[in-house]
Amino acid sequence: MNSRRNFIYKITAASAMLPFIKPSNYFMSKTNMDDRILRVAIMGLGSYGTRVADAMQSCKKAKLVGAISGTPSKLLVWQSKYHIPAANCYDYENYDNIKNNPDIDAVYIITPNALHHDAVMRVAKAGKQVICEKPMAVSATEADEMINACKEAKVNLLVGYRMHFEPHTLEVIRLRDTGAFGKITFFQGLTGFDIGDPNQWRLDKKLSGGGSMMDIGIYSVNGSRYMTGLEPVWVTAQETKNDPEKFKEGIDETMQFQIGFPKGIVASCLSTYSMNNLDRFFLDGKDGFAELHPAAGYGPIRAKTNKGEVTASDVTQQTLQMDEMSDIIFRNKVPIIPVDGEEALKDLKIIAAIYEAAKTGKKVELNG
């Protein structure tokens, strides 16, 4: 009774104060909390950067306002296409100056993998929120440095795990959490495509940090974790290379890997740059199963369980991702599956263990 009386008293007192609150301050506070738009500059204006930029035209909580590129002609195209002011365009030499630009809140780094580390460090030092494509770095050591830099700068470090917001994926996870599949026993992740052009940056270890595992393989690594809801304890792996001329030293063509989880759960996965039509997750339990197929492509994603098709919304993944990241940054939303630097670091440690297992032929234990 006393707590209820105190609550009523506090509400009454607060109401009495409203006439003395300046309207501009009151509504500014509400706007900052509820309606603030995340103003984003994209770094790296290639095919995926363009996909994100196009998707952001439909965002309600995020807006594309800037561009960073080493190619002046691309910047001119983006200025025209996306109505970006010239003052919000930078090259790779001068983008540290974003620290003096109040019209940019965040930078989304969509460059080759090996360039992520330096870009994150510089953007964090400039005091801007950081969004980085996956894999976040090419090593766990780099990832640690990036995480610490963002903590020191007091900015968010978010990673482009778009599947963490995808409705079919989240519905399967919800069903798993309700016990719909019973005790989970097995996961399979198949991810791959025929990479084509031998001269692209993905096949240059100095830019990519590795082969298929550092690109498409991360989906199965990450998917095994969010689909089982557990963290792995060991890995084994086997590498197959049929075209050593195209897939040179340090660039894995095909990797088969197994991941062990607590409770005896095992994941069997394949990552490849030489096979098409591989985009499937399968989760098996004592009482049922779930399949995502396609599982990690740009959509539409499709899912079914032992009881039939999973009904969920079809979305433009990058639109949803950027709106959700706005909520994380401005409204402290906690995503169902993390998308922060620590989440990315876990994947990088597992990938490093997979490479070690393939090289040594031994089971590699994971220590967190």
Residues recognised as catalytic? 134, 219
Round to whole Å and give the CA distance between 264 and 266.
6
Q: How far is 282 from 25, CA to CA, in rounded Å?
A: 52
Residues 16, 17, 23, 28, CA torsion sign: negative
Peptide bond into 294 cis (omega under 30): yes
Only one residue has tokens 């075209």, namely 243
CA distance 138 to 220: 17
DSSP three-state, residue 268: strand
Contacts 24+ apart (CB under 8 A), 67-75: 67/41, 67/42, 67/43, 68/41, 68/42, 68/43, 68/44, 68/92, 68/95, 68/107, 69/43, 69/44, 69/45, 71/45, 74/45, 75/45
